[in-house]
Each structure stands twice: as C-alpha cells, then as structure tokens.
Amino acid sequence: MPESQASFAAVGADPAALGGDADTERARALLAMRRLWHADESACVALLAPAAELSAAQRARIEVRARDLIEQLQRLPERHLAEILTHQLALDSPAGLALLSLAEALLRVPDAATADRLIRDKLAGVDWRAAGLGGPMAAALQLGSALVGPRLPSGARPAPLRRLPAPLLRWGARQAMRLIGGRFVFAETIEAALARARSTPGDADHGQPSRYSFDMLGEAALTAADAERYLRAYEHAIQAVGEAYRGLGPVSAASVSVKLSALHPRYEYAQRERVARELTPRLCELAALARRYDIALTIDAEECDRLELSLELLESLLAEPSLADWRGLGLAVQAYQKRAPALIDYLAQRARARSRRLMVRLVKGAYWDAEIKLAQLLGLSGYPVYTRKVHTDVAYLACARRLLAARDSLEPQFATHNAFTVAEILELATGEVEFQRLHGMGDALYRALSSRIGAAGVPRIYAPVGPRTTLLPYLMRRLLENGAASSFVHRASRPGAVSAYAAPVAAAARNANAPHPRIPLPRD
C-alpha cells in the first residue's frame, strides 16, 4: 500500500467491512477511503497539513495576486446580480423567506387565481428596499408588495399603483422570479443554450471563446418516469453538443455534466444492486454517445452517501472495452469530504490500472448544510465533512497538489469563485490548468483574471439548462453557499470586507485544527 494510503487508513477508528474482493488494489483503495468517512476531524487536517503547506515566498505571491484580482473585480462597474442578491438579502429575514417561498412556487402555479393568492400571501408587508435590495428586481418586488401590502405604511404604497389590476401584479412578481432564474439558468433548452453560447463573445480581450459544460437542470428523480425523462434530456443534450462541437476533442469542446440521481428514482446505497442493474446500461448508453462525439461527460458530486455508488458505476464505465479509447470521462470531487484525498488516490489508481485518463473537477462541495443535518439525524459517530470552512480550504489545497501530481492519469479542473483559491492553484500548477465557474457567478473574478494572464484565465462555464420551474433546488444551493458569511463571494461583494490572505494551514493551526466548537458531534 502506498505510504499516503497507509497513513490515511490509520486515521479511521473502525476498519469498515470490505465488500468485494479484499485482495485487489481497488478494494484497498476503497478501504482507505471508507476509513476516512467519519474520521476524527483534527487528525484528518493534521494529516493533510504538510501537503497544503506553502513557503513564505509562495504565500507572498498568492497574497499579491489575489489582492490584485479582488481590487480589480471590485472596481468592475456591474457586479453580478447574483452576487449582490446573495450578500444583500439575509435568507432568514422576512424578505429572504418571502423571496424563497415565491421562487419555489410561483412559476409552477398554473392558474391565475392561485398565483394571485400566493403573491398576496408572500409579498404582503415586505419592504424590499428596507431589506437592502436595489435594482430592477427590487423595483418589481416593491411594486408587488406595495399593491398587496396592507401592513405597509400607506406612504409606501403609491395611490396610482394600488389601482393596478391583479394581472399586472402577477406579471411583476413573475418577472422578478424570472430575473432571478435567468441569472442562474443559462437557457431553457439545449438548442437555446448552444445558440447563446455561440453568440457570447467569450473573452473579447484575448479572442478566446468561452468553454461550457452544460447541465440539465433538475435533481433526484422521484419516479421511473422522471428518470426516463432526464435520460432522454441528457441523451439529446449530448447529441446536440456533440454535433455543435464536432472534432474539437474532450478538452476543448463543450461538455455535459450529469447528476446520477436524476437517472434513477432509487439512487441510494440500500438499492445498490438494483441501481447497478438498471442504471449501468443507461449510463453506458450516455457514455457511448459522448464517446461517439468525442466530448466529455462529467459525473457531478452529490450527497456523500451516494459517492460509493457513483464509483461503482464509474468502474463499470472504465471496464467497458468499447469506451477504452475515450478520454472524456470525468468526476467531481468534493474537498469538504474527509474522504477526498483518498478518493483522488483511488481515481488515479483506477485510471492507471485500466490504462485510462479521467477528468477530475475539484470543488469544495455544495451540500454542507444537508450533510451536517443528515449526520445529526442519524446520530453518527462523526461528520463526513469538515465543520470549519478553513479545514475545507486546507483540504482543497492538499487535494489540488495530489491532483496535479497525478497528471499522468488525471486531468485536473479547478472549480471555484474564490480569488485566494485561484491564486493558490496558479502558484502550485505548472503549465496551463482549467478553471471552472458557474453561470451567473464569478464573472468578475475571471474577467479580472483573464485581463492579467490572458487566455489561460478564461474558465469553463458550468451552464444549467432547463425550464425555470425546476430551478429551486439548484437556486437554494447557490443562495445558501453564497449567503454564508464565510463565503468568498459574500465577502468580496463588500469593499473592504476581504481581509489579508491567511494561508489555510496556519489559519487552521490557530485553533489547533479543532472542529467547530458550536457543532457538536452528531451523536451528541
């Protein structure tokens, strides 16, 4: 067993029972991962610290580069609505809750009478300007609230507006919701998405067209019919993207990102055998199509307890002889999971064993609140994720080094909107690396970066595609992660709020790598 795996395996308290053939390299790599699932947080961070350590000269260069990016992005005249929205509006304020409730339901309400009652119920009495919102969305919402809000001071309700008919009010509220949706959803159909991608100039300064990864909006399928619909949508998307980007190869062409939970109604570990039987052929079908067009297909990272299922499916794809010459298979890895470094070792080992190359998108992880809540509900011995943001930052840096060291078999892709993280990766990487951002986020950061380092600073854009009525789960994740005070996007949207660069290892050491004191172990 390689030394790194041996030491990671030592962290776990209980040696998990191994399924499958315990003698194989794959089984050993899986075991190393399993032992980290709920491992002691301080021990995990201590183990990662050497790999995330930076010299004084590196820290100084990161500080200078990140500071420059932050100053530039804060000077850009039009910061993105998504960034402004998520920092200005506290989600647990009456305005934030009203907005989320409306966003959840309004676009799905089919009839006018129910929509009117919903709007009245949610908007009455909310003063959007007092909640800190500005711009066209606030104007639309303020209009709605002024019309229906008996609790607003009468001065806030201009008399002429009070006489406006319900259809106009409905229109105003729907427009506001569409405005939010439009900022996060790239297009409603893949055809519209491709047309939009074609007409978007990309990075005008460096003549570099933007690269995309299209994602079919929607979350876990609840029924077999849902799963079938998503399968057809992904199939159609791969065909359309493949036709549009023929001949460019998986690194340069647009790609498609897939959520496995959308392809099966019981995508859960307890249904492992059924999932393997029913989902493997569907995924192989999609992969064969992507291979035929030579574009990349990336498996998104979802909740922690789905990870091993996705690895089993990945293994089936790696074992499929007809896909052997395809270099476009990819997986997202969440650094906030304690298993992340062992997962990277596992992926490198599988790629080498199968003489294949895998694309790996390194993210921090978007389901933090849900993971904490679930572990507490189950009374587990530990959390699968870190409880301090800085520990995730340590892990991201250590995982980035691991990924870069495995470039013989893994193609690293760094997905982040954090200027410090971008500067760290630029410091660690030699040669060109791919950055990724979400549509509607991080625009200013990457515009600033491309003005500094040219075409190499142009990221791939992860572009959700689908009807806005299916936006909510995705929107919630974006609002939760960016509404958090620790989020970089949240801090960067307020001039002066971003403090000096604190190298993650040193910042974690200030608290002796201890878990968050206000997040007791789940069993407690």
Based on the shown chain and the rule CB under 6 A, indicate whether residue 504 belongs to the binding site for ligand FAD: no
**214 belongs to the binding site for ligand FAD (CB under 6 A):** no
Q: Which stretch binds ligand FAD (CB under 6 A): 33-41, 199-207, 289-297, 360-368?
A: 360-368
CA–CA distance, 457 with 449 (Å, rounded to integer): 5
The piece of 13-21, 197-205, 225-233, 383-391 that touches ligand FAD (CB under 6 A) is 383-391
Q: Which is nearer to ligand FAD, 326 or 367 (CB)?
A: 367
Q: How far is the CB of 163 from ligand FAD (least distance, A)?
A: 45
Q: Which of 486, 495, 497, 523 binds ligand FAD (CB under 6 A)?
A: 486
Question: Which residues, 6 or more positions from 190, have their beta carbon under 8 angstroms from its beta carbon?
Answer: 214, 216, 233, 236, 237, 240, 241, 465
Minimum separation from the CB atom of position 388 to ligand FAD (A): 5
What angle do helix axes 25-34 and 307-319 make, rounded to 10 degrees? 160
Number of neighbouring beta carbons within 10 Å of residue 434: 17
Cβ nearer to ligand FAD, comparing 44 with 119? 44
Determine the Cα–Cα distance for residues 206 and 217; give it in Å rounded to an integer: 31
Interacting residue with ligand FAD among 5, 349, 418, 450 (CB under 6 A): 418
- Assigned token pair, 366: 């978007």
Binds ligand FAD by CB under 6 A, chosen from 65, 357, 401, 437: 437
| DSSP single-letter state for residue 458 | P
Neighbours of 366 (CB within 10 A): 21
Q: Which of 54, 258, 438, 449 binds ligand FAD (CB under 6 A)?
A: 438
Residues 347, 349, 352, 357, Cα dihedral to 10°: 10
Helices and strands, number each (H, E), in the chain: 23, 8
Pick between residue 11 and residue 415 the one whose CB is nearest to ligand FAD.
415
Q: What is the DSSP string of 111-172?
A: SHHHHHHHHHHHHTT--TTTTT--HHHHHHHHHHHHHH-TTS-GGGS-HHHHTS-HHHHHHH
Using CB under 6 A, which of 88, 210, 416, 513 touches ligand FAD? 416
Residue selected from 133, 297, 399, 415 as contacting ligand FAD according to rule CB under 6 A: 415
Q: Which of 128, 234, 336, 346 binds ligand FAD (CB under 6 A)?
A: 336
Q: Is 262 or 332 the residue whose CB approaches ligand FAD more closely?
A: 332
Site string for ligand FAD, 461-480 (x = CB under 6 A): -x------------------
Binds ligand FAD (CB under 6 A): choice among 487, 498, 501, 513: 487
Nearer to ligand FAD, 184 or 368 (CB): 368
Stretch that binds ligand FAD, among 82-90, 467-475, 482-490, 507-515 (CB under 6 A): 482-490
334 binds ligand FAD (CB under 6 A): yes
The residue within the footprint of ligand FAD, chosen from 214, 386, 446, 501 (CB under 6 A), is 386
Q: Give the 3-state secondary structure of residue 216.
A: strand
Nearer Cβ to ligand FAD (38/391): 391
Q: Name the minimum Å distance from CB 459 to ligand FAD.
A: 8
Tracing tokens 């004084």 back to the chain, one arrives at: 56
CB neighbourhood size of 516 (10 A): 16
* Minimum distance from residue 200 beta carbon to ligand FAD (Å): 16
CB of 92 to ligand FAD, least distance (A): 16
CA distance 422 to 459: 11
- Note the Cα 405 to chain centre separation in Å: 24
User: Which sign does the torsion angle of CA 310, 315, 320, 322 carry?
Assistant: positive
- Render the burial of 468-496: b for 16+ CB within 10 Å, e for the rest: bebbbebbbbbbbbbbbeebbbbbbbeee
Q: Tell me if 421 contacts ligand FAD by CB under 6 A.
A: yes
Task: Give the Cα separation of 122 and 177 in Å (integer).
Answer: 13
When binding is defined by CB under 6 A, the residue of 102, 140, 216, 332 that contacts ligand FAD is: 332
Nearest approach, Cβ of 110 to ligand FAD (angstroms)? 32
- Nearest to ligand FAD of 82, 301 (CB atom): 301
Closest to ligand FAD by CB, 275 vs 307, is 307
Task: Candidates 409, 481, 501, 522: give the one binding ligand FAD (CB under 6 A).
Answer: 481
Long-range contacts of 322-326 (CB under 8 A, 24+ apart): 322/288, 322/291, 323/284, 323/287, 323/288, 323/291, 324/355, 324/356, 325/291, 326/250, 326/287, 326/290, 326/291, 326/294
Return the number of the residue (224 or 497) whose C-beta is nearest ligand FAD: 497
Instruction: State which residue, 87 or 402, has the beta carbon closest to ligand FAD.
Output: 87
Residue 290 interacting with ligand FAD (CB under 6 A): no
Residues that bind ligand FAD (CB under 6 A): 300-301, 332, 334, 336, 363-368, 385-389, 391-392, 415-418, 421, 436-438, 462, 481, 484, 486-488
